[in-house]
């Protein structure tokens, strides 16, 4: 099994905004709490969260360049652990922290979006619909050739995430019914890396957040239901989860302002624009 590499932090600064100078559309009163603030905010964890985090950070820094926000991935497990250990101000997780984690670290949870997780293949692959049993057999290694599913006579190239990934956890639990994931599966470090891997491999199958799906990959219908925002929203597609941010104890300072902004109308619009389902 290929081992995942460490995630690379994404630093969002005022200089970064020179390349993203589009006019801010959010109401000034929703950014007003950041007026006069300064300092550095550290955020890490789930990779599905990153596009939303980056956009929120850009809007905040555009309003007040005295604030710096560093955003890194690393997976939900890392987000929970680093928030709990005080290594970051905000941890991100694509799953609800366990009762044990909440008690151990004195975590406060903030759910700001709902997301689905779906299997994806290369757009050139004509196998774009599977039953739950077929998907489980693919990931366990029982089905190893696309020809067995009506496709070409080529080996199935499996892609998965590491065990700290919240995306993997919901897919394993709800799409694979907690079945085996073959040790031969290639491990990638993020939703973005998964999408790139599947887009570049005509015989691949992987899974990504519905909010990350685009034309570079083809979503796979599961038991006749395509993973889309509409099917997640109306409950037809069941492989869904909340997107959370966490703090150690009650958040304060920039962390509290950031989390409040995520749940404001402007923050929830960022959620919707990036392909997730708002909670407000």
Over the stretch 181-229, which tens digit does the pLDDT of each residue have? 999 999 999 999 999 999 999 999 999 999 889 999 999 999 999 999 9
The third-level CATH classification (topology) of the domain covering 10-115+242-278 is D-Maltodextrin-Binding Protein; domain 2 (3.40.190)
Question: Could you state, in order of their start, the residue ranges of all structural domains in the chain?
Answer: 10-115+242-278, 117-240
Smallest CA-to-CA distance from 265 within 278, 250, 275, 254 is with 278
Q: What band does 28 get if pLDDT is binned at 50, 70 and 90? A: low
Question: Do 117-240 and 10-115+242-278 have the same topology in CATH?
Answer: yes
Q: Say how far apart CA 207 and CA 263 lie, in whole Å.
A: 27
Q: Say how far apart CA 4 and CA 189 lie, in whole Å.
A: 5
Smallest CA-to-CA distance from 68 within 24, 16, 12 is with 12
Smallest CA-to-CA distance from 90 within 103, 78, 101 is with 78
Q: Say how far apart CA 162 and CA 12 lie, in whole Å.
A: 26
Spatial contact of 95 and 172, defined as CB atoms under 8 Å apart:
no
pLDDT by residue (tens digit) across 71-101?
999 999 999 999 999 999 999 999 999 999 9
Determine the average pLDDT of the residues in 155-171.
95
The CATH number assigned to the domain with range 117-240 reads: 3.40.190.10
């Amino acid at each position: 099994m290929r081992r995942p590499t460490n995630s690379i932090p994404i630093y969002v600064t005022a200089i970064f905004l020179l390349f993203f100078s589009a006019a801010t559309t959010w109401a000034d009163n929703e950014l007003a709490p950041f007026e006069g603030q300064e300092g550095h905010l550290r955020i890490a964890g789930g990779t599905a969260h990153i596009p939303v985090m980056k956009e929120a950070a850009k809007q905040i820094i555009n309003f007040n360049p005295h604030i710096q926000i560093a955003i890194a991935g690393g997976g939900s497990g890392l987000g929970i652990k680093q928030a709990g250990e005080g290594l970051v101000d905000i941890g991100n997780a694509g799953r609800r922290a366990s009762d044990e984690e909440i008690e151990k670290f004195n975590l406060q949870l903030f759910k700001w979006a709902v997301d689905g997780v779906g299997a994806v293949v290369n757009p050139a692959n004509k196998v774009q619909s599977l039953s739950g049993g077929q998907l489980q057999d693919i990931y366990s290694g029982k089905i190893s050739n696309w020809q067995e599913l009506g496709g070409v006579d080529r080996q199935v190239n499996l892609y998965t995430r590491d065990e700290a990934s919240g995306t993997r956890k919901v897919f394993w639990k709800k799409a694979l019914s907690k079945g085996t994931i073959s040790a031969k599966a290639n491990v990638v470090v993020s939703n973005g890396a998964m999408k790139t891997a599947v887009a570049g491999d005509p015989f691949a199958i992987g899974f990504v957040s519905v909010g990350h799906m685009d034309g570079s990959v083809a979503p796979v219908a599961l038991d006749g239901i395509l993973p889309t925002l509409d099917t997640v929203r109306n409950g037809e597609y069941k492989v869904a989860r909340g997107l959370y941010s966490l703090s150690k104890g009650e958040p304060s300072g920039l962390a509290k302002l950031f989390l409040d902004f995520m749940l404001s109308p402007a923050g929830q619009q960022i959620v919707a624009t990036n392909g997730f389902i708002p909670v407000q």
